Amino acid sequence: MKARDFLDTTDLSPTEFAQILDLAAQLKSGRLRADQALRGRVLTMVFMDPSLRTRTSFEVAMVRHGGHAVVLEPGRSSWALETRRGVVMDGASVEHIAEAARVLGRYADAVALRAFPKGTSWDEERHDRTLRDFAQYCEKPLINLESTRRHPCQGLADALLLRERLGVTQGRRFTLTWGPHPKALPTAVPASAALAAAQLGMQVTIAHPPGFDLDADDISAIERAAQGAGGSLQITHDQSAALNGAEAVYVKSWGAVRCFGRPDDEAALRVPHRGWKFSTALLNRAAPSAFVMHCLPVRRNVEIDEDVLDGPQAAVIDQAENRLHVQRALLLRMLADESALGNEVCS
Give the binding site for its own copies (CB under 8 A). 35, 40, 42, 44, 47, 50-53, 55-57, 59-60, 63-64, 66, 68, 70-74, 76-79, 82, 86-91, 94-96, 98-100, 102-104, 106-108, 182, 296-302, 306, 309-310, 316-317, 320-321, 324
Q: How far is the CB of 234 from its own copies (least distance, A)?
A: 30
Question: Which residues lie closer than 8 Å to 314 by C-beta, 6 or more apart?
Answer: 291, 292, 308
Q: How far is the CB of 310 from its own copies (least distance, A)?
A: 7
Cβ nearer to its own copies, comparing 90 with 123: 90
Cβ nearer to its own copies, comparing 233 with 320: 320
What's the DSSP call for residue 214? Answer: P
Report in angstroms the alpha-carbon separations of 10 from 102, 122, 141, 168, 273.
Answer: 25, 22, 16, 20, 32
Cβ nearer to its own copies, comparing 2 with 106: 106
Q: How far is the CB of 303 from its own copies (least distance, A)?
A: 8
Q: How far is the CB of 113 from its own copies (least distance, A)?
A: 14
Cβ nearer to its own copies, comparing 28 with 173: 28
How many whole angstroms separate alpha carbon 148 and alpha carbon 126?
Answer: 7
Q: How far is the CB of 128 from its own copies (least distance, A)?
A: 22
How many whole angstroms separate alpha carbon 224 and alpha carbon 194?
Answer: 12
How many whole angstroms separate alpha carbon 59 and alpha carbon 141?
Answer: 17
Cβ nearer to its own copies, comparing 180 with 231: 180
Q: How far is the CB of 302 from its own copies (least distance, A)?
A: 5
How many whole angstroms separate alpha carbon 136 and alpha carbon 270?
Answer: 36
How many whole angstroms separate alpha carbon 89 and alpha carbon 207?
Answer: 44
Q: What is the per-residue DSSP string for 18-70?
A: HHHHHHHHHHHHTS---TTTTTT-EEEEEESS--SHHHHHHHHHHHHTT-EEE
Cβ nearer to its own copies, comparing 183 with 237: 183
Cβ nearer to its own copies, comparing 228 with 297: 297
C-beta separation of 26 from 50 below 8 A: no
Q: How far is the CB of 271 from its own copies (least distance, A)?
A: 11
Question: 49: burial class by Cβ within 10 Å (0-12, 13-18, 19+)?
Answer: middle
